[in-house]
Structure 1
């Protein structure tokens, strides 16, 4: 009697997936998607973010299938969801910390030299131009056009989670290249 693909154990489906069998991947996706989403939602109560995390996990699973060596797929997927949510929460905390710094600093005083400020601003723009294209576009919309993350996501047809990742990445790049004080000062000045 012939066994249907959907009835195969995970390990067999993984082997087929490693050989490029899209149907085996689809079976695993349907087998685990709801459970992983429910688990993610239990940890982080934002449906859209949880959907993105689970989808990105499955994309990664498919893209890395040829070289993967997962012994217990269910345990691996649950750990991966938990890890990705932890990373998302960390990135949110980093972004919020940067925003708190910006909000808590007053306007530049009269003692700040306009020439120095213009040099810092030019340095910022130079660094922003070096960002990856999508990251630059998201950052410009967020910081220079004052668009919300939801507006940016809708405008660029990407998820809010992806917008948050781009902004976090942009702020890290600026922090590493300009320094925390200078970036805070420049970005604060751009909002005034």
Structure 2
């Protein structure tokens, strides 16, 4: 893992969490892919689970790996429920007459602030890590495509993505 991702002195719980995320990332992604059948959605669900572990606050769970699987399982269930609701509402034409779901002004301001924090966090990443993160999250490339383009292994791609996720989560948590 790159030096930016290493925690400050006396920050052993964060170091543990970063190591757990790095070790479990590939297996979590495989599990999510199996459950949702889509690489992109699986990737996003795993990243969300990792973010929730890192930003959970309080004490480190006794078994962080089990915590990640539990959160990921819940996220998969939520994904299936949202998809079922969408499919059901799409079939019913009266769903087109639903109320305006746009966020209010306060939520828009908060969202812009969080986006600015994420932009700064991504800019702070080491160049190779940032490139890997941008290729995945913004260009939508698969791990294999990123590895080929950057001439690195899939394992290195996963490590860069895990490190970037932890870094961005820390920045968001510090702001919140």
TM range (shorter): 0.3 to 0.5
Larger radius of gyration: 1
TM, length-normalised to structure 1: 0.44
TM-score (norm 2): 0.47
